């Protein structure tokens, strides 16, 4: 049973307090926050009980262990402790320098990580460079950035720890370090991912959410990959930084007369009418360089740049979370973002003897 809309607000103050308490208690375990704001849709914690990709939950007494708390076989926080002890430091140093030089690269690395996850899980398949064949050349990948940075990091790691660190682990760590560089709480990672050998452009165009999907479509996509409805809402909040091209914004403008705030709609039409498809629009026009909850406040005001974002507010399955994040301090969102990003990096991964450890992130081994 869902809590009626009128019953959501009394829970909000309690939800923020509970989340902060959970965030504090789990910090010792390396997590960035709790899994869900209690009361956002009438439940405390997780939004659903669907199993993750690597397990089906378990019982400890009367408690159902959520799938996201179960260990993924083959992943270990100490995976490189002996074989490449400086791995995390090398990645972090390179990412932080890159983000200092170009702040917009933080959003780009997070997006690159998500696009990789969307096709066959986090296996670095998006990095493979096969013109007109690999995911990198899909229409969905047209504006992806960060490839050169990942390749530079891989080159440095190969010099220090030859044939040891996978590109999938590098990309996962780089996305974490990009997020923490712009204000997201640090979360610890487990390593041992292997790199995929297949990368097909058509799969990226078919699987990567690129606008036009309904909320139902997005929920199905997330749940089929072991994530939940709250992960959908939270990870969409990455749009609190970053930009969209007018080519992505313009097609939906004519259909949004009833949901797009009039003055903001006029601004978008002028901005994208004067520029070409490559013109950029800040996804959060209020605080574009701050990783905060302004994205959700924008949805409440009808000021989402992308139609797929705005659709989450009126939907009964996602709207409660949007309102909870909009009405509470930014800490509530950023702590949950860290948790959802950790889950993203452990969904549908290759481990053990699966896949390979590439020598170059842009090419499979031969």
Looking at residue 125, which CATH number applies to its domain? 1.10.520.10
In a domain, 86, yes or no: yes
Alpha-carbon distances, residue 134 vs 14, 225, 315, 364 (angstroms): 47, 21, 35, 11
Token pair 């949007």 is at which residue? 322
Pairing relation of β-strands 63-65 and 58-60? antiparallel
Comparing CA positions, the residue from 24, 28, 352, 82 lying closest to residue 194 is: 352
Q: How many CA atoms within 13 Å lie on the side-chain side of 323?
A: 22
Q: How confident is the model at residue 66 (pLDDT cuts 50, 70, 90)?
A: low
Q: Considering the chain, what percentage of its residues have pLDDT values greater than 70? A: 81
- Note the helical H segments in 87-200: 87-101, 105-118, 147-160, 167-181
> How many folded domains does the chain comprise?
2
Specify whether 81 is located in the same domain as 197. Answer: yes
Half-sphere exposure of 95 (CA within 13 A, CB side): 27
How far is Cα 195 from Cα 357, in angstroms, rounded to an integer? 6
292 is in an annotated binding site: yes
Any binding-site annotation on 132?
Answer: no
The average confidence (pLDDT) of the chain is 84
Query: Using CA atoms, how far apart are residues 47 and 194, in angstroms rounded to an integer?
Result: 30
Average pLDDT over residues 149-176: 98
Query: What is the reported pLDDT for 355?
Result: 97
With cut-offs at 50, 70 and 90, classify the pLDDT of residue 223: very high
Distance between CA 257 and CA 161 in Å, rounded? 56
Sign of the CA dihedral with 37 first, then 43, 44, and 48 last: negative
Per DSSP, helices labelled H in 182-310 are 201-207, 215-224, 229-236, 246-253, 262-274, 294-300, 307-310
Do 185 and 311 belong together in one domain? Answer: no
123 is in an annotated binding site: yes
Closest by CA to 176, choosing from 101, 87, 102, is 87
Three-state secondary structure call for residue 312: coil
pLDDT surpasses 60 at 287 = yes
Residue 10: band (very low, low, confident or very high) from pLDDT cuts 50, 70, 90: very low
Place of tokens 């970053």: 242
Q: For residues 96 and 120, state if they share a domain.
A: yes
When pLDDT is cut at 50, 70 and 90, the band that residue 67 belongs to is low
- Quick one: tokens of 332? 């509530």
Q: Is 121 assigned to a binding site? A: yes
224 annotated ligand binder: no
pLDDT of residue 250: 83
Give the chain's count of helices (H) and strands (E). 14, 4
147 and 247: one domain? no
Q: Are residues 196 and 81 in the same domain?
A: yes
The pLDDT assigned to 366 comes to 85
Both 290 and 264 in one domain: the answer is yes
Is the model more confident about 291 or about 54?
291
Q: According to the annotation, is 240 in a ligand binding site?
A: yes
Alpha-carbon dihedral sign for residues 148, 153, 156, 158: negative
CATH of the domain at 251: 1.10.420.10
**239 labeled binding residue:** yes
In angstroms, what CA-CA distances link 163 with 74, 81, 358, 365? 18, 15, 7, 11
| Among the listed residues 112, 107, 117, 118, the one whose alpha carbon sits nearest the alpha carbon of residue 178 | 107
Mean pLDDT value of segment 205-233? 94
Residue 33 placed within a domain = no
Domain range for 325:
227-344
Identify the pLDDT of residue 70.
66
Instruction: Tell me, yes or no, whether 169 and 231 share the same domain.
Output: no
- For residue 165, report the phi and psi dihedrals to the nearest 5 degrees: -95, 125
pLDDT tier at 3, thresholds 50, 70, 90 = very low
359 lies in the same domain as 337:
no
**pLDDT tens digits for 98-135?**
999 999 999 999 999 999 999 999 999 999 999 999 99
- Residue 330: inside a domain, yes or no? yes
**Coil/strand/helix, residue 244:** strand
- 131 and 197 co-located in one domain: yes
3-state secondary structure of 48: coil
Three-state secondary-structure class, residue 281: strand
> Catalytic amino acids?
115
């Amino acid at each position: 049973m869902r809590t009626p809309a009128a019953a959501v607000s009394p829970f909000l103050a309690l939800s923020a307090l509970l989340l902060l308490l959970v965030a504090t208690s789990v910090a010792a375990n390396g997590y960035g926050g709790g899994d869900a704001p209690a009361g956002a849709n009438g439940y405390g914690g997780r939004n659903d009980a669907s199993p993750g990709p690597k397990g089906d939950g378990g019982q400890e007494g009367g408690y159902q262990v959520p799938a996201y708390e179960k260990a993924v076989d083959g992943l270990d926080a100490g995976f490189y402790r002996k074989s490449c002890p400086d791995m995390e430091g090398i990645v972090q140093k390179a990412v932080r320098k890159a983000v200092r030089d170009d702040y917009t690269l933080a959003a780009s690395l997070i997006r690159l990580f998500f696009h990789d996850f969307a096709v066959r899980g986090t296996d670095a398949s998006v990095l493979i460079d096969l013109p007109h064949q690999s995911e990198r050349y899909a229409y969905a990948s047209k504006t992806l950035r960060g490839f050169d940075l990942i390749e530079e990091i891989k080159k440095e790691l190969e010099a220090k720890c030859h044939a040891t660190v996978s590109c999938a682990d590098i990309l996962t760590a780089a996305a974490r370090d990009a997020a923490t560089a712009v204000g997201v709480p640090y979360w610890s990672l487990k390593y041992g991912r292997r790199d995929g050998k297949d990368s097909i452009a058509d799969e990226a165009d078919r699987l990567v959410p690129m606008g036009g999907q309904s909320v139902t479509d997005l929920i199905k996509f997330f749940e089929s990959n072991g994530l939940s409805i709250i992960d959908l809402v939270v990870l969409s909040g990455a749009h609190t930084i970053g930009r969209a091209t007018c080519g992505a914004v313009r097609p939906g403008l004519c259909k949004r007369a009833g949901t797009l705030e009039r003055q903001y709609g006029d601004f978008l039409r002028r901005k994208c009418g004067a520029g070409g498809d490559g013109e950029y629009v800040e996804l959060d026009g209020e605080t574009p360089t701050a990783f905060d909850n302004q994205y959700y406040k924008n949805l409440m005001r009808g000021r989402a740049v992308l139609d797929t974002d705005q659709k989450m507010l009126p939907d009964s399955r996602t709207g409660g979370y949007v309102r909870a994040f909009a009405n509470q301090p930014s800490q509530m969102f950023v702590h949950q973002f860290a948790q959802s990003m950790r889950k993203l990096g452990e969904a549908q991964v290759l481990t053990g003897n699966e896949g390979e450890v590439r020598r170059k992130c842009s090419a499979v081994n031969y």
